[in-house]
Structure 1
Amino acid sequence: MSGKETRKSAKETAKKSPQVSKKSNEKPAFTPPTLRHRAFSDVNGQDQILRDLKESMDLAFTEVNKKIDSMLLNQQSILPRISTLEDTQKGLEESYNFLSSAVDDLKAEQTKMESDITVLKKDLNSLRTSQNKLKLDYEEKLRSLTEAQLKAERYSRSFNLRFGGIPEKENEEAIQEVKRVLSDYLQMEPVIENAHRIGKRSTGKPRQIIAKLLYRPQRKEILLKCRRALQDSPYFITEDLTSEDFKKKASLRHVMSAAFQEGKRPRFVNGKLFINGELYVHEDSPLAPTA
């Protein structure tokens, strides 16, 4: 709408409006602004709004730019940190890969060691088995050799007798001293091959004499007679036992004494005790009967 048309419209509107009576004491009624004033006011308001809007947008853009600048600054400060973190991550990854490889190597080495240990255990068990077998064989051979040696020693001593209580003399002949005792107390003159004293000389009591007879039957006869014949004499005659048999007989002396008191006939032969012809077996012996 043009300015002329606006003014014409305003005049026509004023003509058509009713006349208002004027009273002296009444206030004039409110007259609304004309279209011209309203349009002018609207234009000014729109300009103000536009200015305010522009200022607001400028402020907003300024704040946004500040924030963008701040973000850019923060980004620039963060980038080195990110780079450092990336380097750290890379180093950690390399360390992890190295450790992982080392762990794999250790696992492989452990597996190999376990396999080697298994083989060694088998070899050790085999060696132990062989060692036990060798030990048993050695013990068996040693036992066999010991028995053979003991048997040979027993046979050699089976011709010997021990004479005790015979006083020692200067330049004596042991054979003659033995013959004198046998002749005087047993009325026997056996054939004696040799005789000699054993042990260290002592002032307390005379050393024993070991005499070797030529015939074992004569030796057996002497042993049967000597116990009663020498009962009231200072002399005694015993078998020449091995050290092992001597210890064993000493441990069975109380059994033999009890058998004598019961009227039985105990005999100790080759390391074994016989009572009335039956082998005596101690209750602790592995040969003892089980219940």
Structure 2
Amino acid sequence: MNSKLAKLDMLDDLCSRMASIESHFNIVKTEIKDIRYDLKQQSERITNGEYHYNIVESRVCGIEAGNEKLQNENFELKENLLKMQTHSMKYNLIFSGIKESNERQNEKVEDTIKEFISNELKIDSEAIPFQNVHRQEQRGVGKPRNIIAKLVKYSDHKMKRSAAYENLKNKKRGGGFSTIPR
């Protein structure tokens, strides 16, 4: 009988072990189910993130293309502005080193420049019409302000430039040069 009781005890022990294994198996099964759920959630987040990344990437590409287009337009506008400035300033001559009259307010700049052209450049200043003549703002202490003279004809511009070079190259005061935009 002892052997039968021992076998029954052994069976009880096996049943208890099986119940314990079954309990652990159910816990593992639940954990695997939770892991699968978490994995599915992470997969959905990654897919959603990729979708948003693609949207952002396409927007960035569009912005970069727009920026490049704007840079090209800006460059073209600067080139056109430079051409227009060059054309507008083509008739201008700047005269430097011509002393200002003591009465700056009442100075007749056109008369001053005509006198300079007659005396220093040896050109009949009355034969050359000006569209506009004015002095620039002060550029340094003790230095006379430059005079900008806009000529009506470009041929007068060339003539004055060459006369300025010939007649003023050895003198220390006064000079005439073209204006070129930067």
- Give TM class, smaller chain: 0.7 to 0.9
Residue 105 of structure 1: CA displacement? 1.9
Gaps of 5+ in 1: 1-63, 245-291
Residue 119 (str. 1) matches residue 57 (str. 2) = no
- Per-residue displacement from partner, 1:169-213 (whole Å, max 9, x unpaired)? 323222222111111122131212222222335323222121111
Residue 97 of structure 2: which of 162, 165, 172 is its match? 165
**d(CA) in 2 for partners of 1:99, 1:197:** 90
Residue 231 of structure 1: which of 150, 158, 169 is its match? 169
**d(CA) in 2 for partners of 1:123, 1:102:** 32
Aligned match of 2:69: 137
Aligned match of 2:135: 197
Alignment of 1:15-94 (within 5 A): 86=19, 90=23, 92-94=24-26
- Per-residue displacement from partner, 1:200-248 (whole Å, max 9, x unpaired)? 3532322212111122221122122211111123111111111x2xxxx
Residue 86 of structure 1: CA displacement? 4.2
**Structure with more contact order per residue of length (Cα contacts < 8 Å, sep ≥ 6):** 2
Residue 219 (str. 1) matches residue 174 (str. 2) = no
Report the TM-score, using the length of structure 1 for normalisation. Answer: 0.50
Residue 241 (str. 1) matches residue 173 (str. 2) = no
Give secondary structure in 2 for the equivalent of 1:232: coil
Aligned match of 1:33: none
Residue 178 of structure 1: which of 107, 113, 120 is its match? 113
Residue 166 of structure 1: CA displacement? 1.0
Q: Verify the 8 A CA contact 2:95 2:148 in the aligned structure 1.
A: yes
Aligned match of 1:51: none
**d(CA) in 2 for partners of 1:167, 1:95:** 104
Residue correspondences, number: 172
Q: Verify the 8 A CA contact 2:96 2:147 in the aligned structure 1.
A: yes
Q: Verify the 8 A CA contact 2:98 2:144 in the aligned structure 1.
A: yes
In structure 2, what residue type is equivalent to 1:235? Answer: G
Residue 165 of structure 1: CA displacement? 0.7
Residue 152 (str. 1) matches residue 102 (str. 2) = no
Gaps of 5+ in 2: none
**d(CA) in 2 for partners of 1:199, 1:105:** 79
- Per-residue displacement from partner, 1:65-93 (whole Å, max 9, x unpaired)? 6x999x69xx5xx96xx869946862x44
The verdict on how the C-alpha distance between 1:142 and 1:68 changes in structure 2, with shifts beyond 3 A counting, is: same
Give secondary structure in 2 for the equivalent of 1:241: coil
Residue 108 of structure 1: CA displacement? 1.6
In structure 2, what residue type is equivalent to 1:223? Answer: R
The verdict on how the C-alpha distance between 1:94 and 1:231 changes in structure 2, with shifts beyond 3 A counting, is: same
Report the TM-score, using the length of structure 2 for normalisation. Answer: 0.76
